C-alpha cells in the first residue's frame, strides 16, 4: 500500500526547520505533498505562487516523491483531494504543542480517518521561524543558515527593493 502524507503550512517563507521536517517525512512516506495555504485573510510577504516556487527549488534534492501544491480552504479537504491518509507537522519546542494539539483534534473531528504525524525538528532549528527570518532580512541581517539558499536570495532581493515589509 502506498502511503501519502501532506505537509500543510503557510511557508511565508520556507525555513530550514520546515526543510528538516520535509526531509525526515520524505523518508517515512512514499509520497509527500507540501501544501501551501492560500489564505485570503492574510497578507503574505510572498505570493502563493512565489512560495510554491521557492519550496520546489528548496526540496529539489529530496527526490520526486516530494511535490508542492497550493491549496485553499480546509486542510482535510486538501488531504482527500491528493489521496493522503496522513498530515505531517513539525514540532520545534513545547510551545508549538498546544496549537498543534488543537488542530489535530479539529482535523480529526472533520476527518476521523486522517491522522497527524509529528516530527521533531533538529535542535539547531528550534529557534527558527518564518516570522523571524522575514524580520531579520528586512533589517539587513544575515538569514543564511536559517532558510534554504533560494529563500535567502529572495528575501535579500525583497529587502534591497524595499518590498520586505510585512
Residue matched to cell numbers 543564511: 144
* Rounded Cα gap, residues 16 and 121, in angstroms: 9
In the set 3, 27, 42, 163, the catalytic residue is: 42
Residue of 6, 37, 48, 147 interacting with ligand PNS (CB under 6 A): 37
DSSP secondary structure, 145-157, as one string: TTB-HHHHHHHHH
What is the contact mask toward ligand PNS in residues 62 to 81, using x (rule: CB under 6 A)?
------------xx------
- Per the annotation, the verdict on 130 as an active-site residue is yes
Residue 9 found at the interface with ligand PNS (CB under 6 A)? yes
Chain Cα centroid distance, residue 148: 12
Q: Which is nearer to ligand PNS, 93 or 106 (CB)?
A: 106
- Per the annotation, the verdict on 92 as an active-site residue is yes
* Rounded Cα gap, residues 55 and 18, in angstroms: 10
Q: How far is the CB of 52 from ligand PNS (least distance, A)?
A: 14
Q: Which range touches ligand PNS (CB under 6 A), out of 7-15, 46-54, 112-120, 134-142?
A: 7-15
Residues 90-129 that bind ligand PNS (CB under 6 A): 103, 106-107
Q: Which is nearer to ligand PNS, 8 or 164 (CB)?
A: 8
Contacts of 73 (CB under 8 A, 6+ apart): none
* Rounded Cα gap, residues 153 and 53, in angstroms: 13
Closest residue (Cβ) to ligand PNS? 9
Q: What is the DSSP letter of 158?
A: H
Q: What is the DSSP letter of 111?
A: -
Nine-digit cell string for 36:
501551501
Residue matched to cell numbers 508542492: 68
In the set 89, 92, 134, 158, the catalytic residue is: 92
Residue 13 found at the interface with ligand PNS (CB under 6 A)? no
Greatest alpha-carbon span in the chain: 49
Catalytic residues: 18, 42, 92, 130
Q: Would you tell me which residues interact with ligand PNS (CB under 6 A)?
A: 8-10, 37, 74-75, 103, 106-107
Amino acid at each position: 500500500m502506498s502511503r501519502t502524507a501532506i505537509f500543510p503550512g503557510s511557508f511565508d517563507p520556507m525555513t530550514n526547520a520546515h526543510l528538516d521536517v520535509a526531509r525526515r517525512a520524505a523518508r517515512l512516506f512514499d509520497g509527500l505533498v507540501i501544501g501551501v495555504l492560500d489564505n485570503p485573510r492574510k497578507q503574505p510577504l510572498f505570493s502563493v505562487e512565489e512560495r510554491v516556487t521557492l519550496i520546489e527549488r528548496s526540496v529539489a534534492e529530496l527526490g520526486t516523491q516530494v511535490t508542492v501544491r497550493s491549496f485553499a480552504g480546509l486542510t482535510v479537504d486538501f488531504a482527500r483531494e491528493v489521496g493522503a491518509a496522513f498530515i505531517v507537522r513539525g514540532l520545534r519546542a513545547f510551545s508549538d504543542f498546544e496549537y498543534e494539539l488543537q488542530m489535530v483534534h479539529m482535523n480529526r473531528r472533520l476527518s476521523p480517518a486522517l491522522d497527524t504525524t509529528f516530527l521533531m525538528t533538529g535542535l539547531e532549528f528550534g529557534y527558527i521561524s518564518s516570522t523571524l527570518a522575514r524580520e531579520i532580512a528586512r533589517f539587513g541581517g544575515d538569514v543564511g543558515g536559517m532558510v534554504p539558499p533560494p529563500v535567502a536570495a529572495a528575501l535579500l532581493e525583497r529587502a534591497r527593493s524595499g518590498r520586505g515589509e510585512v
